Amino acid sequence: EAQVTQNPRYLITVTGKKLTVTCSQNMNHEYMSWYRQDPGLGLRQIYYSMNVEVTDKGDVPEGYKVSRKEKRNFPLILESPSPNQTSLYFCASSLSTVGSPLHFGNGTRLTVT
């Protein structure tokens, strides 16, 4: 089954404790992206990747890191999480063709205390 898999689904952590949210897709998509969803703000792009070893900042990249060492994986790293990073995070992938629809993972609800 074609899918984008994120883990974990729920994560509660404390300020400053490094964490990684994993994302994997099995559709051989070149493009992958991370979004955060906050009430009243919709989805905002954090980072995206056009292909292996090619990543770039989205609209809200501060406090986040990503890597794309393999085509299927695109982990999101929070080196020193802060409470303002409490949010619902979605990974998405698509073909690189402009206009290709995004396929989303099931989301990771992160709480930073």
Partner 1 sequence: AQSVSQHNHHVILSEAASLELGCNYSYGGTVNLFWYVQYPGQHLQLLLKYFSGDPLVKGIKGFEAEFIKSKFSFNLRKPSVQWSDTAEYFCAVNGAGGYQKVTFGTGTKLQVIP
Contact flag: residue 90 with partner 1 (CB under 8 A): yes
Contact flag: residue 52 with partner 1 (CB under 8 A): no
Nearest CA to 31 among 62, 66, 65?
66
Which of 9/17 has CB closer to partner 1? 9
Distance (Å, whole) CA 49 – CA 76:
12
Q: Which two tokens stand for residue 76?
A: 């999101």
DSSP β-ladder status, 10-13 and 108-112: parallel
DSSP 63: T
Contact flag: residue 97 with partner 1 (CB under 8 A): yes
| Identified binder of partner 1 from the candidate list 23, 31, 76, 87, rule CB under 8 A | 31
Which of 77/95 has CB closer to partner 1? 95
Contact flag: residue 74 with partner 1 (CB under 8 A): no
Residue 39: how many other CB atoms lie within 10 Å: 7
Distance (Å, whole) CA 19 – CA 34:
15
Which of 35/79 has CB closer to partner 1? 35
- Give the residues lining the site for partner 1 (CB under 8 A): 31, 33, 35, 40-45, 48, 50, 58, 90, 92, 94, 96-102, 104-107
